[in-house]
Structure formats: C-alpha cells, structure tokens
Structure 1
Amino acid sequence: MRTYIRTRSAGGTYFFTVNLAERKARLLTEHIIELREAFRRTRRDHPFLLDAIVVLPDHLHCLWTMPDGDDDYPTRWRLIKSRFSRGIAHGEWVSNSRRRKGERGIWQRRYWEHLIRDDHDYRVHADYIHYNPVKHGHAASPADWPYSTFHRWLDRGTYPPGWGGSHETMTHEPE
C-alpha cells in the first residue's frame, strides 16, 4: 500500500477536495443540513476559518485557514466525515474491506489537499471553488448555486455582479 505524505503547516491555508465513494450519489446536497451540522460541530470543537466552500451532490471543495500553531486538519476531516455519516440513514453499498473495518461506504477514504502558497494561489483556488457548479453543469452561473460561499464573496465585493455567468471562465486552473 502506498504511503501518502501530507503537507502540514501550522496556521496554513489549504485547498481541499473531498469526494463521496459513489460519485453518482447526491448525498451531500440531499443532506445539506446534516453536512452543515457536521461542519458546525467540528468547527466548534476544533476551530478553523472556512474561507470558501462549494458543496456539489457528490463532492466538495473548500479553503480553510488553520489557527496559529495548529496543523491538524486530518482530525477535522475525520470528524466531519464521521459526523455526517452518523447523521444520515444507512443504505449505501459497503465493500467487504470497509465492512471488516466497521466503516460505512459514504466517503472516499482519501482526500486531496494543497497548501496555498501565496495570494495568487489563494485567488485561483477560490475562483475554482466558486465556478465549480458551472463547470459540472449544475448551474448557469455561480450565483445560481445555493451551496456555496460565492454569495458571501459577492456581497463583500470580491466578485463583480455577473462573475462566472454567460461565457466567462476562469483564466487559471489550480495545480
């Protein structure tokens, strides 16, 4: 089995992609209340800033800034995933491997993380997050998707009205 080495930087800002095990499922948007509660409880117990997020039916992307002196995002993800899983009814397919370990079959075991390097990297990833519902065909514009911090960023003036609509696309894809 391959060993993954994760970048850890106390107080760092990270981009994450987290997927459901069944990529055709719609659990995240169908159970948005339970997902929000899992995030809320985890942030209460283990604070972090949720700078940006988009929740799609089968995956989510987000930017977190960790507290000074703290780099323990793996614990936070474990808690979010387990709290969400405990909050919804059973019914998903579970592999023999997961069954032996007492796991559910909701989430992919791993997730993608990227340590943000600078302001440009932050902006590219924030744009990627907010444009993702359009990219995946869930909305005609980021403003049409309800499960995103796009509206908060728009209200703050970070994005101009109409950003990401019609044929506007991002100029850079995250690495």
Structure 2
Amino acid sequence: MPRYVRAFIPGGTFFFTVTLLERRRNLLTEHVDLLRRCFVDVRRAKPFEIDAIVVLPDHLHCIWTLPPGDADFSSRWRAIKASFSSRIESGEPLSARRQKKGERGIWQRRFWEHAIRDEADFDRHVDYIHFNPVKHGYVANVVDWPHSSFHRHVRRGVCSPDWGDATSIENMDLD
C-alpha cells in the first residue's frame, strides 16, 4: 500500500487540486450550493481560510491557509468529500474494491497539494485558479465564470473585472 508524504507545515498555505473520479460528470457545478455548505460545515469544525477557489464541473482548485500550529489539511479534505458524497444521490458505478470498502464512486481517492513558497508563488497560483475556467474553455473571460473567488477579489479591489480578458492574457505567466 502506498504511503504518501504530505507537507507538514503548521499554519501553512497550500494549493490543492481535487478531482471527481469520473471526469465526464458535472457534479460539482450541478451541486455547487451543496459543496459550499460542506465547506462551511467543515470550516466551522476545523477552521481554515480559503484564499482563492474555483469550482469547475469535474474538479476544483483552491488555496487554503491553515491556523497557526495546524498542518492537518488531509482530515479537512476527507470531511468535505465525505459530506458531499453522503448528500448526493447514489447510483454511480462502483468498482469491486470500492464496493468492498463501502466507498462511493464520486471522488478520486487522492488530491494534489503544493505548499506555497512565497508571495510570487501565491500570486501565480491565484492567477492559475482564476484563469482555469478560460483555460478549459468554459468561458471567454474570467469574470464570466460564477463559481470562483475572482468575484470576491474584484469586490475587495484586488483584481480588476477585466483581468484575464482576451487583451490581458498575453501578459500572464500561468505556467
């Protein structure tokens, strides 16, 4: 059985990618209000800050900052995924292994995390998050995707509403 080495940085800031098992499903945007409630419930029990987030039909990206002295993002993800899965109607195809373990077939078991190193790394990942709906062809302009913290950043004056439109794309370093 693989043993994954996760970053242990109490109070750290992390970029995550979390993906549905079946990439052709649109569960996350179809049930975005439910997903939001799951985040709220978990944050109430185990606080963390969501610095940036985008929810796409089959995956999401986000940046979290954990409280000082706390490095446990894995249990938070486990709780979010379990809460969401328990509230979605069952009926998805299940492998024999998932059936044996009593698991749902909604999420990929793992998630990808990256410890944010510095302010430039943070800014690059926020840009990546906000630009992701354009990258995947869901919208032509960042502002047109409703399931993103981009709108919160615009309200706070962090971003201009036209950030990420066709005229500004060539100036971005998103790789």
Structures share a fold, TM > 0.5? yes
Instruction: Report the Cα offset of residue 114 of structure 1.
Output: 0.3
**Residues 1:33 and 2:33 are matched in the alignment:** yes
- Return the alpha-carbon distance in structure 1 between the equivalents of residues 161 and 82 of structure 2: 37
| Superposition TM-score, scaled by structure 2 size | 0.96
| Superposition TM-score, scaled by structure 1 size | 0.96
- Return the alpha-carbon distance in structure 2 between the equivalents of residues 88 and 172 of structure 1: 34
Query: Hey, what does 1:146 align to over in structure 2?
Result: 146
**Residues 1:79 and 2:92 are matched in the alignment:** no
CA RMSD of aligned residues (A): 1.0
- Return the alpha-carbon distance in structure 2 between the equivalents of residues 109 and 167 of structure 1: 39
Moved more, 164-173 or 123-132: 164-173
Instruction: Report the Cα offset of residue 167 of structure 1.
Output: 4.7
SS in 2 for 1:62: strand
- Return the alpha-carbon distance in structure 2 between the equivalents of residues 16 and 153 of structure 1: 19
Deviation by residue 1:3-35 (Cα, 9 ceiling, x = unmatched): 221111000000000000000100000011110
- Return the alpha-carbon distance in structure 2 between the equivalents of residues 33 and 88 of structure 1: 12
Instruction: Report the Cα offset of residue 172 of structure 1.
Output: 3.3
SS in 2 for 1:106: coil
SS in 2 for 1:161: coil
- Return the alpha-carbon distance in structure 1 between the equivalents of residues 168 and 90 of structure 2: 41
- Return the alpha-carbon distance in structure 1 between the equivalents of residues 85 and 2 of structure 2: 26
Instruction: Report the Cα offset of residue 154 of structure 1.
Output: 1.2
Query: Partner letter of residue 173 of structure 2?
Result: T
Deviation by residue 1:105-132 (Cα, 9 ceiling, x = unmatched): 0000000000000000000000000000
Gaps of 5+ in 1: none
SS in 2 for 1:60: strand
- Return the alpha-carbon distance in structure 2 between the equivalents of residues 11 and 36 of structure 1: 23
Gaps of 5+ in 2: none
- Return the alpha-carbon distance in structure 2 between the equivalents of residues 28 and 17 of structure 1: 13
